[in-house]
Structure 1
Amino acid sequence: MARVYISVGSNIHRERYITAALDALDGWFDELLISSVYESEAVGFDGSPFYNLVVGVDTRLTVAELSARFKQLEADNGRRRDVPRFSARTLDLDILTYDDEVGRVDGVELPRGEILTNAFVLRPLAEIAPADVHPVCGKRYDELWQAYDRDQKLWPVDFTWQGRLISRAATR
Protein backbone atom coordinates (compact mmCIF):
# COMPACT_ATOMS: atom_id res chain seq x y z
CA MET A 1 0.00 0.00 0.00
CA ALA A 2 1.18 3.48 -0.84
CA ARG A 3 0.44 6.53 1.31
CA VAL A 4 -0.72 9.32 -0.98
CA TYR A 5 -1.46 12.93 -0.17
CA ILE A 6 -3.87 14.75 -2.47
CA SER A 7 -4.47 18.48 -2.75
CA VAL A 8 -8.12 19.44 -3.37
CA GLY A 9 -9.20 22.94 -4.35
CA SER A 10 -12.09 24.93 -5.82
CA ASN A 11 -13.06 28.56 -6.28
CA ILE A 12 -16.36 28.07 -8.13
CA HIS A 13 -19.32 26.84 -6.05
CA ARG A 14 -16.67 25.78 -3.54
CA GLU A 15 -18.81 23.82 -1.06
CA ARG A 16 -20.48 21.85 -3.84
CA TYR A 17 -17.28 20.78 -5.57
CA ILE A 18 -15.23 20.10 -2.43
CA THR A 19 -18.11 17.91 -1.23
CA ALA A 20 -18.20 16.10 -4.59
CA ALA A 21 -14.46 15.43 -4.36
CA LEU A 22 -14.68 14.13 -0.78
CA ASP A 23 -17.65 11.92 -1.70
CA ALA A 24 -15.71 10.40 -4.61
CA LEU A 25 -12.55 9.87 -2.57
CA ASP A 26 -14.63 8.29 0.20
CA GLY A 27 -16.04 5.84 -2.34
CA TRP A 28 -12.61 4.90 -3.69
CA PHE A 29 -10.58 4.55 -0.50
CA ASP A 30 -11.15 2.81 2.83
CA GLU A 31 -10.20 5.71 5.06
CA LEU A 32 -9.62 9.40 4.44
CA LEU A 33 -7.29 11.54 6.53
CA ILE A 34 -8.78 15.01 5.99
CA SER A 35 -7.21 18.36 6.87
CA SER A 36 -9.14 21.45 7.77
CA VAL A 37 -10.57 23.37 4.84
CA TYR A 38 -8.77 26.65 4.24
CA GLU A 39 -9.88 29.69 2.33
CA SER A 40 -7.14 31.51 0.46
CA GLU A 41 -6.70 34.25 -2.05
CA ALA A 42 -6.25 33.18 -5.66
CA VAL A 43 -2.54 32.83 -6.50
CA GLY A 44 -1.28 33.73 -9.99
CA PHE A 45 -4.45 35.46 -11.17
CA ASP A 46 -7.25 37.78 -10.02
CA GLY A 47 -10.15 35.59 -8.98
CA SER A 48 -12.49 34.51 -6.24
CA PRO A 49 -10.95 32.97 -3.11
CA PHE A 50 -10.33 29.23 -3.10
CA TYR A 51 -11.20 26.51 -0.64
CA ASN A 52 -8.27 24.10 -0.27
CA LEU A 53 -7.53 21.01 1.78
CA VAL A 54 -5.30 17.95 1.73
CA VAL A 55 -6.53 14.37 1.95
CA GLY A 56 -4.33 11.39 2.82
CA VAL A 57 -5.19 7.89 1.59
CA ASP A 58 -3.61 4.46 1.43
CA THR A 59 -3.97 2.75 -1.92
CA ARG A 60 -2.75 0.00 -4.22
CA LEU A 61 -3.55 2.15 -7.28
CA THR A 62 -0.60 3.36 -9.35
CA VAL A 63 0.19 7.03 -9.94
CA ALA A 64 -1.19 6.66 -13.48
CA GLU A 65 -4.44 5.14 -12.21
CA LEU A 66 -4.86 7.86 -9.59
CA SER A 67 -4.09 10.61 -12.08
CA ALA A 68 -6.65 9.23 -14.56
CA ARG A 69 -9.34 9.00 -11.86
CA PHE A 70 -8.65 12.54 -10.68
CA LYS A 71 -8.75 13.98 -14.20
CA GLN A 72 -12.05 12.20 -14.85
CA LEU A 73 -13.50 13.44 -11.55
CA GLU A 74 -12.45 16.99 -12.43
CA ALA A 75 -14.06 16.65 -15.89
CA ASP A 76 -17.24 15.16 -14.41
CA ASN A 77 -17.44 18.25 -12.20
CA GLY A 78 -17.09 20.80 -14.98
CA ARG A 79 -13.31 21.42 -14.94
CA ARG A 80 -12.29 23.08 -18.18
CA ARG A 81 -8.90 22.43 -19.76
CA ASP A 82 -9.27 25.04 -22.53
CA VAL A 83 -8.55 27.97 -20.20
CA PRO A 84 -5.27 29.45 -18.92
CA ARG A 85 -3.43 27.40 -16.29
CA PHE A 86 -3.95 30.07 -13.64
CA SER A 87 -7.70 30.60 -13.73
CA ALA A 88 -10.89 29.85 -11.83
CA ARG A 89 -11.80 26.19 -11.50
CA THR A 90 -14.62 24.04 -10.25
CA LEU A 91 -12.34 21.32 -8.98
CA ASP A 92 -8.60 20.71 -8.87
CA LEU A 93 -7.04 17.51 -7.53
CA ASP A 94 -3.27 17.01 -7.49
CA ILE A 95 -1.13 14.15 -6.25
CA LEU A 96 1.30 15.79 -3.81
CA THR A 97 3.24 12.70 -2.77
CA TYR A 98 3.14 8.98 -3.45
CA ASP A 99 5.09 7.30 -0.66
CA ASP A 100 8.64 8.62 -1.04
CA GLU A 101 8.68 8.59 -4.86
CA VAL A 102 10.85 11.26 -6.44
CA GLY A 103 10.94 12.30 -10.10
CA ARG A 104 8.55 11.93 -12.98
CA VAL A 105 6.28 8.94 -12.35
CA ASP A 106 3.64 8.12 -14.96
CA GLY A 107 3.77 11.72 -16.17
CA VAL A 108 3.38 13.21 -12.68
CA GLU A 109 6.21 15.12 -11.00
CA LEU A 110 6.69 13.86 -7.44
CA PRO A 111 6.72 15.33 -4.94
CA ARG A 112 4.66 18.21 -6.27
CA GLY A 113 6.59 21.48 -6.18
CA GLU A 114 3.66 23.40 -4.70
CA ILE A 115 4.28 21.73 -1.35
CA LEU A 116 7.22 24.07 -0.78
CA THR A 117 5.79 27.18 -2.45
CA ASN A 118 2.09 27.45 -1.61
CA ALA A 119 0.67 27.94 1.87
CA PHE A 120 -2.65 26.44 0.80
CA VAL A 121 -0.84 23.14 0.16
CA LEU A 122 1.83 23.12 2.88
CA ARG A 123 -0.33 24.19 5.84
CA PRO A 124 -3.02 21.49 5.45
CA LEU A 125 -0.34 18.88 4.68
CA ALA A 126 1.57 19.86 7.83
CA GLU A 127 -1.69 19.60 9.77
CA ILE A 128 -2.39 15.95 8.84
CA ALA A 129 1.18 14.71 8.35
CA PRO A 130 3.36 16.86 10.63
CA ALA A 131 6.06 14.24 11.22
CA ASP A 132 6.23 12.99 7.62
CA VAL A 133 9.37 14.03 5.78
CA HIS A 134 9.52 15.73 2.39
CA PRO A 135 11.30 13.17 0.17
CA VAL A 136 13.62 15.72 -1.45
CA CYS A 137 14.54 18.34 1.16
CA GLY A 138 14.44 15.89 4.07
CA LYS A 139 12.52 18.16 6.44
CA ARG A 140 9.33 17.39 8.33
CA TYR A 141 6.18 19.11 7.04
CA ASP A 142 5.55 20.81 10.38
CA GLU A 143 9.10 22.24 10.28
CA LEU A 144 8.58 23.41 6.70
CA TRP A 145 5.33 25.14 7.70
CA GLN A 146 6.92 26.84 10.71
CA ALA A 147 9.71 28.15 8.46
CA TYR A 148 7.32 29.25 5.67
CA ASP A 149 7.86 32.96 5.00
CA ARG A 150 5.92 33.84 1.86
CA ASP A 151 3.09 36.34 1.98
CA GLN A 152 0.16 34.06 1.17
CA LYS A 153 -2.85 34.49 3.38
CA LEU A 154 -5.17 31.64 4.30
CA TRP A 155 -7.53 30.86 7.13
CA PRO A 156 -9.54 27.82 8.23
CA VAL A 157 -13.28 27.88 7.57
CA ASP A 158 -16.26 25.98 8.91
CA PHE A 159 -16.99 23.08 6.57
CA THR A 160 -19.51 20.30 7.02
CA TRP A 161 -19.30 17.01 5.13
CA GLN A 162 -21.58 14.02 5.55
CA GLY A 163 -23.40 15.79 8.37
CA ARG A 164 -20.34 16.46 10.51
CA LEU A 165 -18.15 19.49 10.97
CA ILE A 166 -14.75 18.51 9.54
CA SER A 167 -13.25 21.99 9.67
CA ARG A 168 -13.70 24.87 12.07
CA ALA A 169 -12.99 28.54 11.47
CA ALA A 170 -10.34 30.08 13.68
CA THR A 171 -11.73 31.99 16.64
CA ARG A 172 -10.86 35.64 16.62
Structure 2
Amino acid sequence: MNTVYVGVGTNIDRDKHAQAAWDELALLGEQLRSSPVYECEPVGFDSHAFYNFVIELKTDRSLTEFSLLLRQIELKWGRLDNAHKYQDRNLDLDIVLFGDVISQSSPELPRSDIFKYPFVTQPLYDLCPEKIIPSDGRSVAQIYQQMDNLDSLQAVSLCFNQDFK
Protein backbone atom coordinates (compact mmCIF):
# COMPACT_ATOMS: atom_id res chain seq x y z
CA MET A 1 0.00 0.00 0.00
CA ASN A 2 1.18 3.48 -0.84
CA THR A 3 0.38 6.48 1.33
CA VAL A 4 -0.81 9.23 -0.98
CA TYR A 5 -1.43 12.92 -0.32
CA VAL A 6 -3.89 14.59 -2.69
CA GLY A 7 -4.28 18.36 -2.84
CA VAL A 8 -7.90 19.42 -3.33
CA GLY A 9 -9.03 22.79 -4.61
CA THR A 10 -12.44 24.18 -5.49
CA ASN A 11 -13.91 27.64 -5.89
CA ILE A 12 -17.26 26.75 -7.47
CA ASP A 13 -19.99 25.36 -5.20
CA ARG A 14 -17.18 24.70 -2.72
CA ASP A 15 -18.98 22.69 -0.02
CA LYS A 16 -20.48 20.31 -2.58
CA HIS A 17 -17.20 19.76 -4.43
CA ALA A 18 -15.13 19.42 -1.26
CA GLN A 19 -17.47 16.63 -0.12
CA ALA A 20 -17.34 15.10 -3.60
CA ALA A 21 -13.53 14.96 -3.37
CA TRP A 22 -13.76 13.09 -0.08
CA ASP A 23 -16.39 10.67 -1.38
CA GLU A 24 -14.55 9.95 -4.62
CA LEU A 25 -11.18 9.44 -2.95
CA ALA A 26 -12.80 7.07 -0.46
CA LEU A 27 -13.51 4.82 -3.47
CA LEU A 28 -9.82 4.79 -4.44
CA GLY A 29 -8.30 3.95 -1.08
CA GLU A 30 -8.74 3.51 2.63
CA GLN A 31 -7.83 5.09 5.96
CA LEU A 32 -8.62 8.59 4.69
CA ARG A 33 -7.68 11.62 6.75
CA SER A 34 -8.25 15.24 5.85
CA SER A 35 -6.39 18.35 6.85
CA PRO A 36 -8.49 21.33 7.87
CA VAL A 37 -10.05 23.12 4.91
CA TYR A 38 -8.58 26.56 4.20
CA GLU A 39 -10.13 29.43 2.33
CA CYS A 40 -7.67 31.40 0.25
CA GLU A 41 -7.60 33.82 -2.62
CA PRO A 42 -6.89 32.48 -6.10
CA VAL A 43 -3.29 32.61 -7.32
CA GLY A 44 -2.62 34.01 -10.78
CA PHE A 45 -6.12 35.27 -11.55
CA ASP A 46 -9.00 37.29 -10.10
CA SER A 47 -12.04 35.32 -8.94
CA HIS A 48 -13.83 33.77 -5.97
CA ALA A 49 -11.88 32.37 -3.02
CA PHE A 50 -10.89 28.71 -3.06
CA TYR A 51 -11.24 25.95 -0.54
CA ASN A 52 -7.93 24.09 -0.38
CA PHE A 53 -7.02 21.05 1.69
CA VAL A 54 -5.10 17.79 1.51
CA ILE A 55 -6.48 14.28 1.87
CA GLU A 56 -4.22 11.44 2.96
CA LEU A 57 -5.15 7.90 1.96
CA LYS A 58 -3.66 4.48 1.47
CA THR A 59 -4.08 2.78 -1.90
CA ASP A 60 -2.81 -0.28 -3.68
CA ARG A 61 -3.31 1.32 -7.10
CA SER A 62 -0.33 2.18 -9.26
CA LEU A 63 0.68 5.80 -9.77
CA THR A 64 -0.44 5.68 -13.40
CA GLU A 65 -3.84 4.22 -12.57
CA PHE A 66 -4.36 6.56 -9.62
CA SER A 67 -3.44 9.60 -11.71
CA LEU A 68 -5.85 8.61 -14.49
CA LEU A 69 -8.66 8.03 -11.99
CA LEU A 70 -8.14 11.50 -10.48
CA ARG A 71 -8.45 13.02 -13.94
CA GLN A 72 -11.69 11.09 -14.53
CA ILE A 73 -13.06 12.37 -11.21
CA GLU A 74 -12.24 15.97 -12.15
CA LEU A 75 -14.02 15.58 -15.50
CA LYS A 76 -16.99 13.87 -13.84
CA TRP A 77 -17.43 16.88 -11.56
CA GLY A 78 -17.36 19.43 -14.36
CA ARG A 79 -13.73 20.23 -15.11
CA LEU A 80 -13.27 21.09 -18.76
CA ASP A 81 -10.95 18.77 -20.66
CA ASN A 82 -9.03 21.80 -21.97
CA ALA A 83 -9.03 23.74 -18.68
CA HIS A 84 -6.29 26.31 -18.22
CA LYS A 85 -4.09 26.55 -15.13
CA TYR A 86 -5.40 29.89 -13.88
CA GLN A 87 -9.18 29.64 -13.91
CA ASP A 88 -12.11 28.70 -11.71
CA ARG A 89 -12.38 25.06 -10.66
CA ASN A 90 -15.26 22.83 -9.71
CA LEU A 91 -12.74 20.30 -8.51
CA ASP A 92 -8.95 20.18 -8.82
CA LEU A 93 -7.14 17.06 -7.57
CA ASP A 94 -3.34 17.02 -7.54
CA ILE A 95 -1.10 14.25 -6.26
CA VAL A 96 1.27 16.01 -3.86
CA LEU A 97 3.11 12.89 -2.65
CA PHE A 98 2.76 9.25 -3.72
CA GLY A 99 4.70 7.13 -1.27
CA ASP A 100 8.38 7.85 -1.83
CA VAL A 101 8.05 8.15 -5.61
CA ILE A 102 10.24 10.76 -7.30
CA SER A 103 9.23 11.76 -10.83
CA GLN A 104 10.19 14.66 -13.08
CA SER A 105 7.49 13.82 -15.63
CA SER A 106 3.74 14.02 -15.28
CA PRO A 107 2.81 13.81 -12.52
CA GLU A 108 5.75 15.65 -11.00
CA LEU A 109 6.52 14.10 -7.61
CA PRO A 110 6.96 15.36 -5.05
CA ARG A 111 4.83 18.19 -6.39
CA SER A 112 6.80 21.45 -6.35
CA ASP A 113 3.74 23.26 -4.96
CA ILE A 114 4.86 21.94 -1.54
CA PHE A 115 7.69 24.49 -1.63
CA LYS A 116 5.71 27.39 -3.17
CA TYR A 117 2.17 27.65 -1.89
CA PRO A 118 0.94 27.92 1.70
CA PHE A 119 -2.38 26.36 0.64
CA VAL A 120 -0.46 23.12 -0.01
CA THR A 121 2.21 23.34 2.69
CA GLN A 122 -0.13 24.22 5.60
CA PRO A 123 -2.55 21.30 5.06
CA LEU A 124 0.36 18.91 4.53
CA TYR A 125 1.91 20.19 7.76
CA ASP A 126 -1.40 19.59 9.55
CA LEU A 127 -1.39 15.94 8.43
CA CYS A 128 2.25 14.88 8.54
CA PRO A 129 4.73 17.45 9.89
CA GLU A 130 7.51 14.88 10.35
CA LYS A 131 7.20 13.38 6.84
CA ILE A 132 10.47 13.63 4.94
CA ILE A 133 10.01 14.89 1.39
CA PRO A 134 11.61 12.45 -1.08
CA SER A 135 14.50 13.98 -3.05
CA ASP A 136 14.57 17.01 -0.74
CA GLY A 137 15.52 15.50 2.62
CA ARG A 138 13.67 18.09 4.69
CA SER A 139 10.58 17.38 6.75
CA VAL A 140 7.27 19.06 5.99
CA ALA A 141 7.74 20.99 9.27
CA GLN A 142 11.10 22.35 8.12
CA ILE A 143 9.61 23.51 4.82
CA TYR A 144 6.59 24.96 6.64
CA GLN A 145 8.82 26.98 8.97
CA GLN A 146 10.49 28.63 5.96
CA MET A 147 7.23 29.58 4.20
CA ASP A 148 5.94 33.12 3.80
CA ASN A 149 2.28 34.14 3.74
CA LEU A 150 1.01 31.37 6.00
CA ASP A 151 -1.21 33.96 7.66
CA SER A 152 -3.05 34.42 4.34
CA LEU A 153 -4.99 31.19 4.96
CA GLN A 154 -8.30 31.14 6.78
CA ALA A 155 -9.46 27.83 8.25
CA VAL A 156 -13.07 26.95 7.43
CA SER A 157 -15.34 24.84 9.60
CA LEU A 158 -16.26 22.03 7.23
CA CYS A 159 -16.79 18.41 8.20
CA PHE A 160 -17.02 15.58 5.73
CA ASN A 161 -19.37 12.66 5.92
CA GLN A 162 -16.48 10.41 6.79
CA ASP A 163 -17.14 6.76 6.06
CA PHE A 164 -13.79 5.23 6.94
CA LYS A 165 -13.00 1.95 5.24
Give the structure 2 partner of residue 31 of structure 1: 31
Conserved? CA contact 1:37–1:157, under 8 Å: yes
Counterpart amino acid of residue 92 in structure 1: D
User: What displacement does 1:160 show?
Assistant: 2.2
Query: Which AA in structure 2 matches 1:115?
Result: I
Residues of 2 paired with 1:5 and 1:76: CA distance?
A: 21
Sequence identity (%)? 34
Flag the 1:42–1:15 CA change in 2: closer, same or farther, 3 A.
Answer: same
Q: Distance in 2 between matches of 1:61 and 1:16?
A: 26
- Equivalent residue, structure 2, for 1:170: none
Counterpart for residue 127 of structure 2? 128
Tell me by how many angstroms 1:16 deviates.
0.6
User: Over residues 127-169 of structure 1, what are the superposed CA-to-partner deviations in whole Å (9 max), with x where a residue is unaligned?
Assistant: 10110011122111112112112477111101022189xxxxx
- Aligned counterpart, 2:93: 93
Q: Distance in 2 between matches of 1:4 and 1:34?
A: 12
User: Residues 97 and 110 of structure 1 are in contact (CA less than 8 Å); yes or no, is this contact kept in structure 2?
Assistant: yes
Query: What letter matches 1:157 in structure 2?
Result: V
The CA deviation at 1:84 is 2.5
Q: How big is the shift at 1:20? A: 0.7
Match of 1:167 in 2: none
TM-fit CA distance, 1:8: 0.6
Alpha-carbon spacing, 1:85–1:152, altered in 2? closer, same or farther (3 Å)? farther
Structure 2 residue identity aligned to 1:15: D
Q: How big is the alpha-carbon RMSD for the aligned residues of Structure 1 and Structure 2?
A: 1.7
Q: Which structure 2 segments of 5+ residues have no match? A: none
Moved more, 96-105 or 59-68: 96-105
Amino acid in the other structure paired with 1:45: F
Distance 2:58 2:64 in 1: 15
- Tell me the CA shift for residue 29 of structure 1: 1.6
Q: Once superposed, which parts of structure 1, at least 4 consecutive aligned residues long, lie more than 4 Å away? A: none
Question: Could you tell me how far apart the structure 1 residues matched to 2:162 and 2:150 are?
Answer: 34
Query: Would you tell me which structure has more strand in proportion to its own residues?
Result: 1
Deviations 1:100-136 (A, max 9, x none): 111236x311111101101000000011011001112
TM (norm. structure 1) is 0.89
Structure 1: tracts of 5 or more residues without a match: 165-172
Partner of 1:48: 48
Distance change in 2, residues 1:8/1:19 (3 Å): same
- Structure 2 residue identity aligned to 1:90: N
Aligned to 1:143: 142
Q: Which amino acid aligns with 1:110?
A: L
**Residue 3 of structure 1 pairs with residue 3 of structure 2:** yes
With over 3 angstroms needed to count, the CA separation of the structure-2 counterparts of 1:132 and 1:74, relative to structure 1, is same
